[in-house]
Structure 1
């Protein structure tokens, strides 16, 4: 059980419209791999191509060394979990889970053994004789997951499996899914538009836009050093500020308006673009600002604040009129008041600097 999925130059077209243009990626054996992106980016289309539900207009999909382009869906040995659960309302929990095994002509004693085993893995053995209508949404999703993995598939495909659950249950279930996936060790391809969910469960994430992978990496890599402005703004929250990157005597510094200049190391500008002054876009996440009172940095005015326990979110207006969001650890002192003047500096080792088009990250890897 579990395979490496190799996708080479994959193309998907609907008529004259190309929705996935020559996509290549390799998903490792046993990996929890997430396709993340906004609606219409091609993530579900790619998942359905792996499943065999969508045609392929170019390229190949391999399970290990076997090309599966023309293999029927039912012969690909995949398990699938959908957002609407798709469990049979007329069968009990154990009846639903046993269904795929029965289709494989397995003996009744072996079916009973496998069903009991998977019921324990997904922690719903106490509900084995219940009908689906008597289960909560989370319990139904566990049934769907159990049914998908009890057949020992080579690949588990999951399409927005938590979107129908309420916020707290989504958190509980995403933790359960990750734990179960680790226990069974199955190669998993997971589709979601929820970036927090993707960050929580994934070994690696492919952030997609218009059928193209914009950034492929671990959750930490994608959050800390997003490849472009699209990824930076899609993963987490960030503020995009225009400025200039200055290069003098082998040293770089950022000019961010109002005379605020910040030395910055770890910058890698291609030689073809090297100039003494470059216009850039600077991505500063809310937690990457420092609030100061000593008139050092960018002058700003507090608009309002949101107290959230450990952290307080401030929304401030820069002198340019741009509004930015700042996150600071809550202190015992009183909150800063609307209308109060503060000064902002950035944490230069944390921020990301992009070319003016927002397509190329000039910032090197995070120094751990």
Structure 2
């Protein structure tokens, strides 16, 4: 990491006998979209609360934008925008009235509050809905307004905790595209906490898999796949019109090519595992041997395979203890935000 904006070192938090976050160390670079992926109750929200200075760690420290979140939480809050999984607004006020109210609470000058609120509503795609009362807003519109609530403060980092819960598939896609656009255009650093695999994979530059309070692994998809599936992380599936004479001999010769780790033969197909992507070399070799290829498909290991390989079997073991920690977290957060 050349320019980390979030630095967590040995971050640990216990609620009674439950270790909600266990020795979490992580660096997130400026301008990056990082996905913290884990099941409900994994400890993601506890980690976020420590980053914001809303709860103190039992060990370790969190630095955000160069500021220690525990010793100087107010300075962190000035630089970070946080959007929880459920955002509340005054239903009797319009969207822009809610946003202007938030702007005033955050010290935005009165002479610029209207123009800034309008511009922010346009940015999140609510320009045509800004004068509607929020009681008429859908869940997706309220999440966009929640994002506007974060953006009007002009933060360096935004932290989104399960931001797409309860939104329909089209709304989810639009929301994620908005996040990606904001990050690329404005250089925002985004930490997105979620248990939704596909959504995280769509938008994040890197992913951290978090379960039972522990960060099991972090990296981009190529790194995660290689860590899990080793030298066979590239898989090519090839189908043939027929199995011509000498098919078996050609397969044996294919096994001897550099980077080929395994070849599995079907009736009129084969699956080749490789240590690197050598698909063109494989196809060229088979065509030269006179085989009639009808299809070539590169299999890519997505977050689904990574997710289940890492902690599917551990999820049940941790969930009961994590739920009790989650109840404490929610009550603590409500008390400190009343």
Could you say which structure has the higher helix fraction?
2
C-alpha displacement at 1:7, in angstroms?
0.6
CA distance in 2, matches of 1:176, 1:106: 24
Secondary structure, aligned partner of 1:79: strand
List per-residue Cα deviations over 1:303-345 (Å, max 9, x = no partner): xxxxxxxxxxxxxxxxxxxxxxxxxxxxxxxxxxxxxx84663
Counterpart of 2:243 in structure 1 is 294
Change (3 A) 1:291 1:140: same
1:228 to 2:228 alignment: yes
Q: How does 1:59-138 map to 2 (within 5 A)?
A: 59-72=60-73, 76-77=77-78, 78-138=80-140
Counterpart of 2:38 in structure 1 is 37
CA distance in 1, matches of 2:160, 2:185: 17
TM-score by length of 2: 0.67
Secondary structure, aligned partner of 2:131: coil
List per-residue Cα deviations over 1:241-280 (Å, max 9, x = no partner): xxxxxxxxxxxxxxxxxxxxxxxxx84xxxxxxxxxxxxx
Change (3 A) 1:64 1:134: closer
Q: How does 1:1-368 map to 2 (within 5 A)?
A: 4-72=5-73, 76-77=77-78, 78-222=80-224, 224-225=225-226, 227-228=227-228, 267=231, 288-291=236-239, 294=243, 342=267, 345-349=270-274
Change (3 A) 1:163 1:104: closer
Is the CA contact (8 Å cut-off) linking 1:88 and 1:96 kept in structure 2?
yes
Change (3 A) 1:96 1:26: same
Counterpart of 1:279 in structure 2 is none
Change (3 A) 1:65 1:133: closer
5+ residue gaps, structure 2: 249-265, 278-298, 301-308, 311-338
CA distance in 1, matches of 2:273, 2:128: 54
CA distance in 2, matches of 1:73, 1:65: 13
Higher RCO, 1 vs 2 (CA within 8 Å, ≥6 residues apart)? 2
5+ residue gaps, structure 1: 230-265, 268-281, 298-340, 353-357, 360-368
C-alpha displacement at 1:190, in angstroms?
0.7
Change (3 A) 1:182 1:98: farther
Counterpart of 1:335 in structure 2 is none
Is the CA contact (8 Å cut-off) linking 2:38 and 2:211 kept in structure 1?
yes
Counterpart of 1:305 in structure 2 is none
CA distance in 2, matches of 1:75, 1:4: 11
Change (3 A) 1:120 1:168: closer
Q: Number of matched residues? A: 257
C-alpha displacement at 1:172, in angstroms?
2.0
CA distance in 2, matches of 1:20, 1:123: 36
CA distance in 1, matches of 2:77, 2:91: 26
Could you say which structure has the higher strand fraction?
1
List per-residue Cα deviations over 1:70-104 (Å, max 9, x = no partner): 33468622212233232322221111212222113
Change (3 A) 1:55 1:170: same
